[in-house]
């Protein structure tokens, strides 16, 4: 054990409370990041391709994001065919930025972890496999 007490051991230090579960789910993270990079919105089919989701899966997650107030869904026509347009709301953008701040903290922690791991871990005596 080194003498230096790492700052990293306060209770909840790795709880990442700000990791918004609505955004954190993998498919929704794809959707929200796609929409964040396309502020004028994305047509359903384009969004589906970008996120590699099925129609059903995309619909289901859009509904969750809409109910949470993170996106807006618009109906319209293009070349006489009905279309669905999805856009991030201002609230959605705000929450995405907050979420990404937490991701950045995790990346920072991970970079710190790689440095710490450079000294090979040693299992002290007296432990046996569970």
Q: Which residues bind its own copies (CB under 8 A)?
A: 6, 8-9, 11-17, 19, 21, 24, 26, 29-31, 33-34, 36-41, 46, 49-53, 72-77, 84-85, 87, 93, 96-97, 100, 103-104, 106-107, 109-110, 112-114, 116-117, 119-124, 126-130
CB nearer to its own copies: give 56 or 126. 126
In the complex, minimum distance from the CB of residue 44 to its own copies, in angstroms, rounded to a whole number:
10
Q: Which residue has the tokens 């040693």?
A: 122
Please state the closest distance from residue 99 (CB atom) to its own copies, in A.
9
Count the residues in the chain: 130
Residue 53 C-beta: closest distance to its own copies, Å: 8
Shortest Cβ distance from residue 68 to its own copies (Å)?
15
What is the torsional sign of CA 70, 19, 53, 94? positive
How would you write 9-55 as a 3-class SS string?
Answer: HCCCCCCCCCCCHHHHCHHHHHHHHHHHCCCCCEEHHHHHHHHCCCH
DSSP secondary structure of 83-100: EEEEEE-HHHHHHHHHHH
Give the Cα separation of 51 and 47 in Å (integer): 6
């Amino acid at each position: 054990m080194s003498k230096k007490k790492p700052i990293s051991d306060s209770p909840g230090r790795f709880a990442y409370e700000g990791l918004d579960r609505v955004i954190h789910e993998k498919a929704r993270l794809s959707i929200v990041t796609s929409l964040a990079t396309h502020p004028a919105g994305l047509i359903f089919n384009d969004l589906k391709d970008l996120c590699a989701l099925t129609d059903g899966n995309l619909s289901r997650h859009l509904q969750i994001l809409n109910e949470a107030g993170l996106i807006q869904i618009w109906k319209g026509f293009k070349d006489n065919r009905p279309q669905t347009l999805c856009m991030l709301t201002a609230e959605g953008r705000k929450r995405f930025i907050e979420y990404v701040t937490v991701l950045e903290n995790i990346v920072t922690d991970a970079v710190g972890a790689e440095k710490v791991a450079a000294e090979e871990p040693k299992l002290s005596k007296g432990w046996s496999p569970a």
